[in-house]
Chains A and B, each alone.
Chain A
Amino acid sequence: MSQIINTPQVHLIGEVKGAYGFETDRLFCKFNVRVGHNWTLLSGKDAGETYEEIKEETEEYIIWDHPFDIHYKAKTIRGWPKFFVEVWQIDSEGRYSISGYGIATVPFTPGQHKMQIKCWRPRPQGFWKRVASRILGIQPELQFKDMLLSSAERFGFEAETTGTVEIDVGVIVKDFQLHGVELYTEI
């Protein structure tokens, strides 16, 4: 009996909700979704930049609520979408510096999920550089970001912890069961 097998598809629908635990009050976030070679983006934008948000000092949460609606076609499970976020801070003089990098894999199971991406940034090397970072706001940035995305060595460089980015994502999958792939956990 002949069968026409459809390529599995994945929809990611949700918001980059916000962040907490960062030391500054003015932040924005640049995010993009990375997939493997066998995945194709069918519709939607997989990259974005949120509002520049100024939060009150009494609040603990920075809110962006940046919506995204992405549609992928998948030929393999390998290369499942990963969120890559870069949080940037603006100081009182208006200078931009990096506040954190983070990466997290989107959950496999269909349904509504809340992802919490813990972020870090490169630590200034040496005592004077650290003083400069505190007083002048000079923060080292990563020049080659490919090392974050692959599991290759990170050359033992020093990183310091910053805050957490929260993303609300809804995952809709189609036709994985036609290929015998079970993404469910409950029966």
Chain B
Amino acid sequence: MVDQSKGAFDADGMFADEDNIDDELAVGEKLKEENYYKYHENVANYDPRGQPYSYFYITIMGQVEFGEFGGELDGLQVHYAFVAGEDWGVSDGVAMSSGQYGFKGQGSKLKKIIWNLPFEITYRTMTPFGWPQIVIYCTSKDTKGEDKVEAYGSIHVPIQPGMHKKAIRMFSPLESNSFYEFFGFFKEGSSSNKGTVHLDAPELIARADGREVSRVKAGGKVTVSMQITQRNMERHGYITTNNKK
């Protein structure tokens, strides 16, 4: 019970002296409908500088399902790499991996290259800026037995939690000097017409700068299905979906 003699009930308001609040009474006050917004945690005194150091987490789980390529493009090994901004850190899982060499089926209807390469990664961060992107690139072995990049593409991971199936359009590099300058690496003495390009930095594909100087030819698409889960984003105030719980 509140001690009336100690002046808890001031002329200004009911709970002027916060230390004297009885827990039972406070809960009753909070549950009253007219006080719903007064005590709601979303309108509570939220100063980001005063908060304990806390992250929010995004978990991306899924698989690189299959690819559809026209023409003679066959025997491709798929690689995926996750690229995110500077404030993002990988909390669990691997960001890069490679699949097997896939060939089209022998029937006339089997034009897809099926890899079924699963991935699972959890990122932790304090800001949505630098949202992760998934970079997919397909390589094949050239006549020398070395890896040659045939196609690459990247998209942002969807921000809305739930199941998503995305088709990533793939580009193949066109032979032109400005393209080699853009990537910075090339093999000398290559025997094929296209030239061999080594890709050690998937971030270069995911970045938007410098794209206006290169010419590309679109070829094929790769389907990726993934599900996104988030933790602590609502506590930081970020709303990523239309469904109010």
Chain A residues 1 to 40 lying within 8 A of chain B, measured CB to CB, are 1-4, 6, 11, 13-15, 18, 28
Residues of B within 8 A of A42 (CB): 129
Question: Looking at the complex, which of A51-59, A124-132, A140-148, A155-163 is the stretch in contact with chain B?
Answer: A51-59
Interface residue? A177 (CB, 8 A): yes
The answer to whether B45 and A15 have CB atoms under 8 Å apart is: no
Chain B residues 142 to 169 lying within 8 A of chain A, measured CB to CB, are 153-156, 158-160, 164, 168-169
The answer to whether B160 and A170 have CB atoms under 8 Å apart is: yes
CA distance A174 to B156 in the complex (A): 20
- Closest A residue to B50 by beta carbon equals A4
Residues of B within 8 A of A11 (CB): 128-129, 131, 238
- Closest A residue to B162 by beta carbon equals A112
The answer to whether B153 and A186 have CB atoms under 8 Å apart is: no
Residues of B within 8 A of A18 (CB): 169
The answer to whether A183 and B156 have CB atoms under 8 Å apart is: no
The answer to whether A65 and B154 have CB atoms under 8 Å apart is: yes
Residues of B within 8 A of A50 (CB): 211-212
Interface residue? A80 (CB, 8 A): no
**Majority SS of interface residues in chain A?**
strand
Interface residue? A91 (CB, 8 A): no
Residues of A within 8 A of B217 (CB): 53-54
* B229 CB, min distance to chain A CBs, angstroms: 15
The answer to whether B242 and A6 have CB atoms under 8 Å apart is: no
The answer to whether A53 and B129 have CB atoms under 8 Å apart is: no
Residues of A within 8 A of B48 (CB): 6
Residues of A within 8 A of B168 (CB): 65
Interface residue? B208 (CB, 8 A): yes
Interface centre among B133, B155, B156, B171 (most CB of A within 10 A): B156
Residues of B within 8 A of A177 (CB): 42, 239
> Contact check: which of A71, A109, A170 meets B159 at CB < 8 Å?
A170
The answer to whether B42 and A51 have CB atoms under 8 Å apart is: no
**Closest 6 A-B residue pairs measured CB to CB?**
A170-B159, A49-B212, A63-B169, A112-B160, A174-B237, A13-B131
The answer to whether A174 and B212 have CB atoms under 8 Å apart is: no
Residues of A within 8 A of B30 (CB): none
Chain B residues 200 to 239 lying within 8 A of chain A, measured CB to CB, are 206-208, 211-212, 214-218, 236-239
Chain B residue total in the interface (Cβ 8 A):
45
Chain A residue total in the interface (Cβ 8 A):
52
CA distance A43 to B127 in the complex (A): 11
The answer to whether A2 and B45 have CB atoms under 8 Å apart is: yes
CA distance A43 to B218 in the complex (A): 30
Residues of B within 8 A of A112 (CB): 158-160, 164
The answer to whether A55 and B218 have CB atoms under 8 Å apart is: yes
The answer to whether B46 and A4 have CB atoms under 8 Å apart is: yes
The answer to whether B47 and A69 have CB atoms under 8 Å apart is: no
Contact sample, A vs B, 18 pairs, CB 8 Å cutoff? A4-B45, A11-B129, A11-B131, A11-B238, A13-B159, A48-B211, A52-B216, A59-B218, A63-B171, A69-B85, A69-B156, A111-B159, A170-B156, A170-B158, A172-B128, A178-B42, A178-B237, A185-B242
The answer to whether B156 and A15 have CB atoms under 8 Å apart is: yes
- Closest B residue to A2 by beta carbon equals B45
The answer to whether A186 and B131 have CB atoms under 8 Å apart is: no
* A72 CB, min distance to chain B CBs, angstroms: 11
